[in-house]
Amino acid sequence: MQEKFVIIFVVALAVVGALIYFGMNNKLNILPQKEMATAVIGGQTFNLEVVRAPEAMAQGLAGRDSVGDRDGMLFVFEKPGVEAFWMKGMKFAIDIVWVRGNKIVGLDKNAAPAVGNLPSGSGLPVYSSPDLVDKVIEVKSGTADELRLNTGNTVEITFSSI
């Protein structure tokens, strides 16, 4: 009788272990992949993390210590609109490149992080697109001047997943 209990226990344990193992592997395989893009701006190629969800857009680059010289973030909107960004939680300055289609429609250079610990909506600078945009690119501050970016310049974006 005790042998029967031990065999049932071992089999049950093996089944539970197999379910956990295969369940974890399936979860790893079904996690959404991070969407990435490359963009050619001013003759230089940038690696951009793509964000489309409102929560990810609200987070943006906030909380990060820096961004690489040829790295950044690409915000993709469902339809063109006048978009606004603020620097809440940012630790470094950025250049904001406002894009519609494949053309730069505006630039905000050296968008500085908020100073101090300001509560929401209390004097944080807001950067708004000068026209309708369907994409926004954030890159390291100084990039727009370094590459002599101007309104009307072309941006070539290629999307991929990792």
Domain ranges for the chain: 1-31, 35-161
User: Which residues make Cβ contacts (< 8 Å) with residue 56, sequence separation at least 6?
Assistant: none
**What CA–CA distance (Å, rounded) separates 134 from 126?**
18
Query: 111 is written with which tokens?
Result: 């968008």
**Residue type present at position 115:** V
Could you give the CA distance from residue 60 to residue 10 in angstroms, rounded to a whole number? 49
* C-beta neighbour count of 73 within 10 angstroms: 22
Per-residue pLDDT of the chain (162 residues; tens, 9 = 90+): 666 655 655 445 554 444 445 554 444 445 556 899 999 999 999 999 999 999 999 999 999 999 999 999 999 999 999 999 988 889 999 999 999 999 999 999 999 887 655 555 556 788 999 999 999 999 999 999 999 999 999 999 999 966
Q: Residue 123: which residues within 8 A CB-CB, separation 6 or more?
A: none
| CATH of the structural domain 35-161, one choice from 3.90.1150.10, 2.60.120.1140, 2.30.30.30, 1.10.3080.10 | 2.60.120.1140
